[in-house]
Amino acid sequence: MKTVWIVDAAYLYNFGKSRPSGFDYLKLKNELTRANGGPIDESYYLNSTSDPTAEAQNAFHTWLKSAPPKGPQMRVQLYRLKEMHLKCPACGTPFDRQVQKGVDVALATLMIRLAVQGACDRLILSAGDGDLEDAIRYLKSDLRRQVWLNGAQATLSADLQCYADRVLWLDDMAAAIDK
């Protein structure tokens, strides 16, 4: 069975912030490989980043690309952050905030492209956004692919959970994936 793991980096980043020591992508991939009962054929990491990226970010992305035992051997796809101009609802003071642009669309497109090309029979998705429901439904109903979700109990959308063949809870893996 060909298995692909796709990561919404912002989703896992938020999970990591909730952990005292964070988590380790290589350890997480090892846990997912164990649950899969065999190798994960391809792994993708999708995120938004500032332009230009910081040196520490570049080093992290290089580590993600590195093969085991050094790193988790992921294909890194980066998108630009978008500047949003907002006003404080309480006082009306304007402020700017950077937000992801294009990552959810890229996640959905990548999942469908890989399934249509026959690159995967099983998709493990580390994401929790209910906006991915239509793509997941298409993978399951029309393309007949297995979809496993990997997420936190507090943040994994029920709209996605109802389509999952299996849910691999980050909460249950926490001790094994901590840094």
pLDDT of 21 reads 86
Rounded average pLDDT per 10-residue block, the chain, 179 residues: 96 91 95 98 93 80 96 94 79 76 91 97 96 97 97 96 98 94
Q: Name the β-bridge partners of 37.
A: none
Q: Which CATH class is domain 3-177?
A: alpha beta
pLDDT of 50 reads 75
pLDDT of 36 reads 98
Each domain of the chain, given as residue ranges in start order, spans: 3-177
Contact between residue 145 and residue 120 where contact means Cβ atoms under 8 Å apart:
yes
Q: Residue 3 burial (CB < 10 Å; 0-12/13-18/19+)?
A: buried
pLDDT of 98 reads 65
Handedness of CA 30, 35, 36, 42 (dihedral sign): negative
Contact between residue 51 and residue 115 where contact means Cβ atoms under 8 Å apart:
no
Q: Write the CA distances from 97 to 54, 64, 73, 94, 107, integer angstroms.
A: 18, 27, 31, 10, 22
pLDDT of 35 reads 98
What would the two tokens of residue 19 be?
A: 């952990």
Q: What is the DSSP letter of 67?
A: P
